[in-house]
Structure 1
Amino acid sequence: MKKVQLENTDIEITPIIFGGNVFGWTLNEEESFRILDAFVARGFNAIDTANNYSYWVPGNVGTESERIIGNWIKSRNLRDKIILATKVGGRNLIQDKPNTTKSHILKEVEESLMRLNTDYIDLYQTHYDDTKTPVEETLSAYNQLIKEGKVRYIGASNFSSERLIESLDKADLFNLPGYKTLQPEYNLYDRKHFEEFLQPVVDKFKLGVIPYYSLASGFLSGKYRTEADLEQSTRGEGIKKYLNERGVRILDALETISTRHSISYSAVSLAWLMEQKSVVAPIASATKEKHLDAFLEAVNVQLSHDDLKLLSEASEY
């Protein structure tokens, strides 16, 4: 499978990244191993997770996703074949607010490395911006980790445009490592915030974009057309906001192009996202092996100018 390069790095990944938020949440360890095996068997190589995924699940502590991925990597002996991205600085059971202090990052990275059964992280990302911590303090922690060989590159997620600019400017000013990637919420439905506020920053600093919620929590898969459909999923309540006139218009456009190319709604949605400026690879999850077929369809389909125009116009905000 053809690979794409993350901006300003030597990291090459396949065009879709697996989102590890499902591990320890909607998939147990055995099921997670099965879906990861199927993912790499199809030629993909990049996985994104965080040190706090699934902390919201009763009985979980929030480290389940990293631990499952680490157990899988160790059992399959695949570390050198996988591009591994994780995050630090998000909420968890112990703290209810972001924390990007140097001491916190240096502590958390050791625990992530241990859970992931690796001695380095390819892409270490600030999960949420802790606005009380100076950006140069956060970057100084990453500087130390890069020098120690524990982290290759750093990325940002869930930043305001102002703080992202400040971080990138301070990195240059103090000769500290700068963010190479941005992981924002961005999909065919959720376009406005990224395109209006973050896209200009991405363009100026040449960041690689790896969007999360690429399928809008499953709404863009087309399986949710009515409120009754929401009962099919644990994410149902969060999808309700998409069931409006604009959402239906987007689904209608997806149906047209899905039929035209004989591929799934999910594949069309991912393919549209992959064609957007600065997007290197969208992040998407799967809970069943058949869901991975959409990943391959998205990589292999060539949407026409008219296809892209129809989708962009249907999703105008």
Structure 2
Amino acid sequence: MEYRRLGNTGLKVSALSFGAWVTFGTQVPLQQAKELLQASRDAGVNFFDNAEVYAKGKAEEIMGQAFKELGWKRSDLVISTKVFWGGEGPNDSGLSRKHIIEGTKASLTRLQLDYVDVLFCHRPDPNTPIEETVRAMNWVIDQGWALYWGTSEWSAEQLQEAWRVSERLGLIGPACEQPEYNMFARKKVEQEFKPIYESHGLGLTTWSPLASGILTGKYSGGSVPEGSRFALTDYKSMAEKKLVQKRAQVDAVDQLKPIAEQLGCSLAQLALAWCLKNPHVSTVITGSTRVEQIKENMAAMQVVPKITDELLKKIHDITEPTITA
């Protein structure tokens, strides 16, 4: 496993990490979660991602109990969670000082932890001044509930404002951003954020490297295999959006198969390795329901050095016409 710095911090995270979105509390119970976490740890993974909204808090509960039963040394782990969607009440969501503080306390209780390493603002909140959010995130750090804070799906302009506020007040700015990043979603990471990597050392903990499974090739022809994410009731609308409205992306994956064959890897490994080629990416968050998937994903590390500039151009020629974000 390779370990990369999280932006300009001294924190080192595994280049491939494990996230609980969709799986924990929805598809994966506690015992299976322990097996998946152990397989990830055996492969060198040290970064584990969660959020208060995942399975309405159940994902944090399962991960926290699994960590407790596995008995791992806390200093060996880098654990993150995200606040924004915490419930139905008028103050149970967003990035107000009230919800950030109460949401963080609730997440720590579910995770059975004294602190998380990274606390993310899960989305930008147009109803809360960024200064209020910056002050609240710094207060959480001052309490020792989080060591670093970051953002998820914020724009470059919103990040710049957060840093301006932080610098004016002598506070800590966001260390990292968690954007969607894959062959079909590239504009924010490769264009919008380009001017700020050098100025602020933004670290990236990217999600959806397989474009919700499309880049694995399992949805070839628009089919939905039993047991896949798009076969889940809660993801029917996403299946319509991804497999019907963006059918060109599904078809593009078939054109990537010869490249994967040339490299001697699966389409999933190719997609993960492609993400890792970007030097601004600190870690690529993966998700799995089976130990075999984790082993396949981790093997993508060996594919990264095989992707030459020539192969990158071939990949981009295939995928660029289908980029939507």
Instruction: Name the CA distance, whole Å, in 2 between partners of 1:271 and 1:191.
Output: 15
- 1:291 offset after TM fit, Å? 0.6
Change (3 A) 1:126 1:101: same
Which of 143, 146, 151 is the matching residue for 2:141? Answer: 146
Alignment of 1:188 onto 2:183: yes
Distance of 2:197 and 2:117 partners within structure 1: 20
Alignment of 1:1-16 (within 5 A): 1-16=1-16
Give the TM-score, by structure 1 length: 0.91
Question: In the alignment, does 2:101 pair up with 1:106?
Answer: yes
Residue among 67, 85, 90 paired with 1:73: 67
Please state whether the residue corresponding to 2:128 is helix, strand or coil. coil
Structure 1 counterpart of 2:115, from 116, 120, 123: 120
- The match for 1:269 is 271
Give the aligned residue type for 1:195: E
Could you tell me which runs of 5 or more consecutive residues in structure 2 were left unpaired when the two chains were aligned. Answer: none
Q: Deviations over 1:193-236 (max 9, x none)?
A: 44333343344422011111111111111111122335552425
Matched residue type, 2:310: D
Do 1:100 and 1:126's aligned partners in 2 also have CA atoms closer than 8 Å? yes
1:55-94 C-alpha deviation (Å, 9 max, x unpaired): xxxxxxx011111111011111212221101111136444
Preserved contact between residue 149 and residue 173 of structure 2 (Cα < 8 Å): yes
Question: 2: distance between equivalents of 1:84 and 1:232?
Answer: 28
1:94 to 1:234, Cα distance in 2 relative to 1, 3 A = farther
Alignment of 1:20-169 (within 5 A): 20-21=20-21, 22-54=23-55, 62-78=56-72, 79-90=74-85, 92-94=87-89, 98-169=93-164
Q: Is the CA contact (8 Å cut-off) linking 2:210 and 2:268 kept in structure 1?
A: yes
Classify the secondary structure of the residue corresponding to 1:316: helix
Q: Quote the offset at 1:139 in angstroms.
A: 1.1
Letter in 2 for 1:147: D
What is aligned with 2:316? 312
Gap change, CA 1:35 and 1:96, over 3 Å in 2: farther
- In structure 2, the partner of 1:171 is 166
Deviations 1:243-280 (A, max 9, x none): 53344224412x12221122111111010001124111
In 2, Cα distance between equivalents of 1:282 and 1:95 = 33
CA contact (8 A) 1:246 1:314 kept: no
Q: What is aligned with 2:218?
A: 223
Which one-letter code corresponds to 1:23 in the other structure?
A: F
1:235 is paired with a residue whose SS is: helix
Distance in 2 (alpha carbons) for counterparts of 1:279 and 1:118: 27
CA contact 1:273–1:282 (8 Å) conserved in 2: yes
1:139 to 1:198, Cα distance in 2 relative to 1, 3 A: same
**Structure-2 residue corresponding to 1:249:** 252
TM-score by length of 2: 0.88
Q: Out of 198, 210, 228, which is 2:205 matched to? A: 210
How many residues were matched structurally?
309
Indicate how the Cα distance of structure 1 residues 142 and 85 shifts in structure 2: closer, same or farther if over 3 A, else same.
same
Separation (CA, whole Å) in 2 of partners of 1:258 and 1:167: 41
CA–CA separation in structure 2 for the residues paired with 1:199 and 1:92 = 35
Cα distance in 1 between the residues matched to 2:251 and 2:91: 36
Counterparts in 2 of 1:280 and 1:244: CA distance versus 1, 3 Å: same
Identity of aligned residues (%): 28
Match of 1:58 in 2: none
User: Does the CA-based 8 Å contact 2:93-2:99 persist in structure 1?
Assistant: no
CA RMSD of aligned residues (A): 2.0
Query: How far 1:98 sits from its partner (Å)?
Result: 4.4
Find the aligned partners of 2:187 and 2:92 in 1 and give their Cα distance: 26
Q: Which secondary structure does the structure 2 equivalent of 1:154 belong to?
A: strand
